[in-house]
Amino acid sequence: MSSLSSLTITALRAKLTAGEISPTDIIDDLENSNLEKDEAIGGYNSIDFEAARVMAANADLTLPLGGIPIAIKDNINVNGEPCTCASQFLVDSYIAPYDATVITKLKAAGAIPLGRANLDEFAMGSTTGNSSIKRTNNPKDLDRVPGGSSGGSAAVVAADTAIAALGSDTGGSIRQPASHCGVVGLKPSYGRVSRFGLVAFASSLDQIGPITKSVDDAALMLNALSGNDKMDSTSLEVDVPDFTVNIDQGVAGLKLGIPKEYFAAGIDPQVRKVVEASIEKLKNAGAEIVDISLPHTEYAVATYYIIAPAEASSNLSRFDGIRYGNRAENPENLIDLYRKSRSAGFGSEVKRRIILGTYCLSSGYDHKYYDKAQRVRTLIREDFNQAFEKVDAILSPVCPTAAPKHGENSDDPLKEYLADICTIAANLAGIPGISVPAGTVDSGNNTQLPVGLQILGAHLDEKTILRVAKAVEIL
Ligand code: GLN
């Protein structure tokens, strides 16, 4: 019999409501049989079984996620638990004094937060290699990265050491690790899900979303997470549909756009083959495949790497050694306290982004960089608006390559930034995107590495991308 931890939310809910298992059985299974696997994977920064057991004993099985444990990326506040952001600034010095709105909502839907999943420090990165706590390995090949920044969340779901997880996506951090680990990752539209209680990286780009073993599970979780929140002024006051309804409708009659810029040079030929095979299957299932152009794609990386660091430099100014986390000892004066605390607390990638962002915003340069980037951002958004007049959804690779080996790009940040080319435009435009497993490529040493198909939708049209993703999953 397969272990309970390998089952989807949907399958576990059927067993729970039929009375075949209890929520405590799932927690036991995660603790006894599967968690030792995490020694090899390194997906969790901490995990509190005791708190989960109390919630499991009181779980209301009539609720949509009743009794389901969910791993939480370690940059989302869960009351009473550490929230390290994988940064030495917060390790051993910060315990969350409140629940993020997504945690309140998950609990209200009956779910049980269980375990803090590793990430790149403050979610800055694409490999989880910028974590200051530990290395996370890709469950499909331990010599390779799980992707990032939600690498811990994707790895624990793929390794069956979690049922499902929450991640955050500022430039691809849910979709790209999902693609590298062979699971489903959904970035909702900007404003669909409250960001209150997510430690901010770049506030105009960040969104929280689910990483799951199936498309149905992603829809179930999105139902629980969505909705307006007075604590986040950017969360939208719009109706929340039931994302599970019509998910099985198939793709017959849908127009699916193929943006030529996302298939340009730089995409690994094996990755391209997997993505093209999936497109062919969707065509055979009745979708109309339409060639489109998103002409400003080539500026997306440059635009993102001005806006995201600019916002990060502002957001991270709250880490001053006084209000949060670790404080340097024996400072000579206030400025020295800031300098020493920040120098010791932040890792090199975070420092690089703060320096870059501060430079872009500094007087005399803000017009040259930040304002210009905002104008290009509008053009990128316009590209998508025009495309969605012609098509219902857009298909592309998630990442130009499958998961790289540990350390492969670590001495070349620019190379790592360029690999974000397929995911970051969706954040700049605020549209939803999902990565769904599409196939595998040969790593060259007898391992098959997963590759995801990315499906992008019009703003607030998560229903269509879930429907296309479901078709990919079952074809
Ligand atoms: N790789 C991108 C970056 O390093 C995206 C990170 C994210 O989405 N959090 O900024």
Nearest to 140 by CA among 126, 160, 121, 125: 160
> Which is the closest atom of ligand 1 to the Cα of 126?
1
User: From CA 293, how far away is CA 256, in angstroms rounded?
Assistant: 13
Q: Which of 414, 420, 422, 423 to mutate to test the pocket of ligand 1 (most atoms within 8 A of CB)?
A: 420
> Which is the closest atom of ligand 1 to the Cα of 201?
9
Angstrom CA distances, 233 to 190, 192, 376, 432, 462, stand at: 12, 12, 24, 19, 21
Using pLDDT thresholds of 50, 70 and 90, give the confidence band for residue 218: very high
**What pLDDT, on the 0 to 100 scale, is given for residue 264?**
86
Determine, yes or no, domain membership for 433: no
Query: 64 vs 419, which has greater pLDDT?
Result: 64
**What pLDDT, on the 0 to 100 scale, is given for residue 2?**
64
> Which is the closest atom of ligand 1 to the Cα of 308?
10
Q: Which of 170, 179, 415, 423 to mutate to test the pocket of ligand 1 (most atoms within 8 A of CB)?
A: 170
Q: Is the pLDDT of residue 455 over 70?
A: yes
**What pLDDT, on the 0 to 100 scale, is given for residue 263?**
93
Marked catalytic residue, from 5, 132, 173, 235: 173
The ligand 1 site (C-beta within 6 Å) comprises: 123-126, 149, 169-173, 201, 308, 420
Tell me, yes or no, if 73 is annotated catalytic. Answer: yes
* Nearest protein CA to atom 5 of ligand 1, as residue: 171
User: From CA 273, how far away is CA 279, in angstroms rounded?
Assistant: 10
CATH number of the domain at 135, please.
3.90.1300.10
Using pLDDT thresholds of 50, 70 and 90, give the confidence band for residue 418: confident
Per-residue pLDDT reduced to its tens digit, 153-187: 999 999 999 999 999 999 999 999 999 999 999 99
pTM for this prediction: 0.97
**What pLDDT, on the 0 to 100 scale, is given for residue 365?**
82
**What pLDDT, on the 0 to 100 scale, is given for residue 200?**
98
**What pLDDT, on the 0 to 100 scale, is given for residue 366?**
78
Tell me how many domains the chain contains: 1
Domain that holds residue 161: 4-225
**What pLDDT, on the 0 to 100 scale, is given for residue 406?**
96
Tell me, yes or no, if 131 is annotated catalytic. Answer: no
Determine, yes or no, domain membership for 466: no
Angle at 417 between CA 166 and CA 189, to 5 degrees: 40
Q: Is the pLDDT of residue 8 over 80?
A: yes
Per-residue pLDDT reduced to its tens digit, 226-256: 999 999 999 999 999 999 999 999 999 999 9
Average pLDDT of the residues of the chain? 96
Residue 164 · residue 112 · CB < 8 Å: no
Determine, yes or no, domain membership for 195: yes
Q: Is the pLDDT of residue 328 over 60?
A: yes
Q: What tokens were used for 184?
A: 């489903």
Determine, yes or no, domain membership for 314: no
The rounded Å distance from CA 3 to ligand 1 centre is 33
Per-residue pLDDT reduced to its tens digit, 259-313: 999 998 789 999 999 999 999 999 999 999 999 999 999 999 999 999 999 999 9
Q: Is the pLDDT of residue 36 over 90?
A: no
Q: Which of 124, 166, 180, 206 to mutate to test the pocket of ligand 1 (most atoms within 8 A of CB)?
A: 124
Residue 462 · residue 243 · CB < 8 Å: yes
Determine, yes or no, domain membership for 147: yes
Using pLDDT thresholds of 50, 70 and 90, give the confidence band for residue 90: very high
Marked catalytic residue, from 5, 73, 168, 435: 73
> Which is the closest atom of ligand 1 to the Cα of 205?
8
Tell me, yes or no, if 405 is annotated catalytic. Answer: no
Determine, yes or no, domain membership for 460: no
Residue 134, classified by CB atoms within 10 Å of its CB into exposed (0-12), middle (13-18) or buried (19+), is middle
CA dihedral 255, 256, 258, 262 (to 10 degrees): 150
Nearest to 428 by CA among 313, 317, 302, 316: 302
CA dihedral 6, 7, 9, 13 (to 10 degrees): -140
DSSP for 304-332, please give it.
HHHHHHHHHHHHGGG-SSSSSS---SS-S
Determine, yes or no, domain membership for 158: yes
Marked catalytic residue, from 5, 131, 132, 149: 149
Using pLDDT thresholds of 50, 70 and 90, give the confidence band for residue 206: very high
**What pLDDT, on the 0 to 100 scale, is given for residue 324?**
86
**What pLDDT, on the 0 to 100 scale, is given for residue 56?**
97
